[in-house]
Amino acid sequence: MYGRESIVLQRDVNVVQIPDGSPTVLPQGHVVTLFQSLGGNFTVTTERGYMVRIAGADADAIGKEPPSLSHLEPGEDAETVEKNAWEVMKTIFDPEIPVNIVDLGLVYHCKVKALPEGGHAVDVTMTLTAPGCGMGPILQHDVELAVKNLPGVAAVNVEVVFDPPWSRDMMSEIAKLQLGMI
């Protein structure tokens, strides 16, 4: 969802600067303009023209609701955990591109393995659109957190790789259509 809604921050809020990934705090009363609201996070521009991301957990600071995961499959077996892992990764968006990381082709694979002590370990291998992307650690953390919070998940490992390098050919047809590439 895109918007150009001006919003007065209702409280101090931790944000991440785009594109370098630097954390900072915007004070209560600061006016931001909503640029993008996708996947539960919010991309806004500040009064000084900086673009920052507000996490879905801080949605109340801009008068919005936090994201819901009610669309996930019930169950904790390996197949359901893997399906739900892919679904939650589809809720993670590059803050500058209105396409989720799965359709962008950034997630190379997701493997689920039962653990002897119970629960499952989930291993995700992903890449970035560019090796020097400052948002890389943020996106990696988003994936770790989203998958870790799924029922039946006891451990998560997200590895960022650059071989093979990402290219536009890795994007889904849906992503290419969304970005006007076809």
Percent composition of the chain: helix, strand, coil (DSSP 3-state, to 5): 25, 30, 45
| Phi, psi at 149, each rounded to 5° | -80, 0
Instruction: Write the CA distances from 159 to 111, 141, 144, 180, integer angstroms.
Output: 12, 10, 10, 30
Hey, what CATH topology would domain 6-62 get?
Answer: SH3 type barrels. (2.30.30)
Q: How many Å apart are CA 39 and CA 81, to the nearest integer?
A: 19
> What's the confidence (pLDDT) of residue 1?
47
The 3-class secondary structure across 95-164, one letter per residue, is CCCCCECCCCCCEEEEEEEECCCCCEEEEEEECCCCCCCCCHHHHHHHHHHHHHCCCCEEEEEEEECCCC
Residue 52 has pLDDT above 60, yes or no: yes
The whole-number pLDDT of residue 108 equals 97
| Element holding 175 (H helix, E strand) | helix 173-178
Q: How many CB atoms lie within 10 A of CB 91?
A: 19
pLDDT at 38 over 80: no
Reported confidence tier of residue 58, pLDDT bands at 50, 70, 90:
very high
What superfamily in CATH does domain 78-178 come from?
Fe-S cluster assembly (FSCA) (3.30.300.130)
Residue 2 has pLDDT above 60, yes or no: no
* Six token digits for residue 169: 């050919």
Residue spans of the domains in the chain: they are: 6-62, 78-178
In this predicted structure, the answer to whether residue 93 has a pLDDT above a threshold of 90 is no
pTM for the structure as a whole: 0.78
